[in-house]
Amino acid sequence: MKTACALLLLAALACAHAQEGDPLKSSACGAALASLQAARQGGAAPASVESLRAAAAHACLGTAMRPTRPSRTAQPPVVVPPPQIDLPQHPAPLPVPLPASPPVAIDRPATPTVCDAGGCWSNDGTHLRQVPPSLIGPRGMCTQVGGQLYCP
């Protein structure tokens, strides 16, 4: 029986010690909640009710008091200026003059001007030999295209 009483006494002391350490069961929390309840029922101004609520939260929960609540209204957009990018300045390249190209010589085909039994003479002075059925020039056989005769 003595041990049961001792255990009961220890439990009561532990309970009393727990109540002393619990901020929700402290006298400061009770007083803060009572004043907050009285202000709400009395129709006090919203600013005073908010300050009493913050004080009760600090006393009962141990939270730091915030001066005001953040606004729930829309905030204006943040305007960020566009970046300024400076391009490096390179000197303009000087125009390079192209070398003058020599005129292109076009070899014109030899055209027969005078013909005899042995062949034809062309306009550039070469002799085109007669090998039936065509003529042979110094660079090969002549070809006939339409009414024109071309000799290489």
**Number of separate helices (H) and strands (E) present in the chain:** 3, 7
pLDDT over threshold 50, residue 9: no
> pTM for this one?
0.31
> Residue 43 and residue 50: Cα distance in Å, rounded?
12
> Residue 18 and residue 1: Cα distance in Å, rounded?
26
Prior bond to 133 cis, omega within 30? yes
Distance, CA of 131 to chain centre: 79
Q: Do 134 and 141 touch, CB atoms closer than 8 A?
A: yes
What tens digit of pLDDT does each residue of 49-95 get?
888 888 888 888 876 555 556 667 777 888 999 999 888 887 777 78
Domain ranges of the chain: 2-61, 112-150
The 3-state DSSP class for residue 54 equals: helix
